[in-house]
Amino acid sequence: MSEHSRALLAEAAGTFWFFFIGAGAIIADANGGGGGLVAIALAHGVTLAVAVSAFGPISGGHFNPAVTFALAIAGRHPWSRVPTYWIAQLVGGLAAGFALRGVFDFALAAIDKTHLGTPALANGVSVSIGIGVEALLTIFLVWAVYGTAVSPLAPRIAGFGIGLTVATDILMGGPLTGAAMNPARHVATAIPAAFFDNWYVYWVGPLLGAAVGGLSIRLLFAQLRELATPAKT
């Protein structure tokens, strides 16, 4: 198996893992789990931290089209591999969504209430605010990914730093937009649940944030790249 094929399998597997636990925690909470927002944030954050640590050496541990897009803009991921990474992430995510539909078949009320854990705008949150929140949260995530995992001078706390960022983003943005920060996260459960309200918020917001985050990396971390590059003699 080629290196690229292994990377795609890792992206699909990691995305499945991340979404199955994260969205599953939302459904379980609605079915009487009682953990609330903190438990949901921890389910997403801890799972992502472990998945990034496990699969990062194989694929980079993106599990998110927005992260892949941002790293390509920042010059840290080949553009030629963006489409295949996106496909792997969407396939893994959809597999998780349909698996959750089967696992929680007994809890139809919870599925209906949460739309299978699909992120959605809260009452009173406009589309423009939703896009802005998703964009900002994605920028923070991109900075965490680069600063803790990708930068040549990263402190090598990749999984922990990235997972913690997702958890805190959910604590703030979850009550507003669901804090997806990830187009695949929305697609994964929206399609099995047939729930497409404001679907474009979860593509425009994260990809906009990814673009800004990727461009800002070129400025914020430019000096670090220079310091990490051996001087020519």
Look up residue 43 and give its two tokens: 């389910």
Instruction: Let me know if residue 117 belongs to a domain.
Output: yes
Instruction: Let me know if residue 79 belongs to a domain.
Output: yes
What is residue 224's predicted lDDT score, i.e. its pLDDT?
58
Look up residue 191 and give its two tokens: 């399609």
Instruction: Let me know if residue 145 belongs to a domain.
Output: yes
What is residue 125's predicted lDDT score, i.e. its pLDDT?
98
Percent of the chain exceeding pLDDT 70 equals 95
Domain that holds residue 65: 3-228
What is residue 227's predicted lDDT score, i.e. its pLDDT?
43
pTM: 0.93
Instruction: Let me know if residue 233 belongs to a domain.
Output: no
Instruction: Let me know if residue 133 belongs to a domain.
Output: yes
How many domains are there within the chain? Answer: 1
Instruction: Let me know if residue 114 belongs to a domain.
Output: yes
Residues of the chain with pLDDT under 50: 226-233
Distance CA 89, CA 217 (A): 23
Q: What is the CATH number of the domain that holds 181?
A: 1.20.1080.10
Placement of tokens 């795609």 in the chain:
8
3-state secondary structure string, the chain?
Answer: CCHHHHHHHHHHHHHHHHHHHHHHHHHHHHHHHCCHHHHHHHHHHHHHHHHHHHHHHHHCCCCCHHHHHHHHHCCCCCHHHHHHHHHHHHHHHHHHHHHHHHHCCCCHHHHHHHCCCCCCCCCCCCHHHHHHHHHHHHHHHHHHHHHHHHCCCCCCCHHHHHHHHHHHHHHHHHHHHCCCCCHHHHHHHHHHHCCCCCCCHHHHHHHHHHHHHHHHHHHHCHHHHHHHCCCCC
What is residue 195's predicted lDDT score, i.e. its pLDDT?
97
Best CA proximity match to 114, nearest among 28, 206, 15, 17 = 28
Q: What one-letter code names the amino acid at 60?
A: G
Instruction: Let me know if residue 110 belongs to a domain.
Output: yes
Asked if residue 184 lies in contact with residue 65, where contact means CB atoms within 8 angstroms, the answer is yes
What is residue 15's predicted lDDT score, i.e. its pLDDT?
99
Distance CA 192, CA 96 (A): 10
List, for residues 141-163, the tens digit of each pLDDT value.
999 999 999 888 777 787 899 99
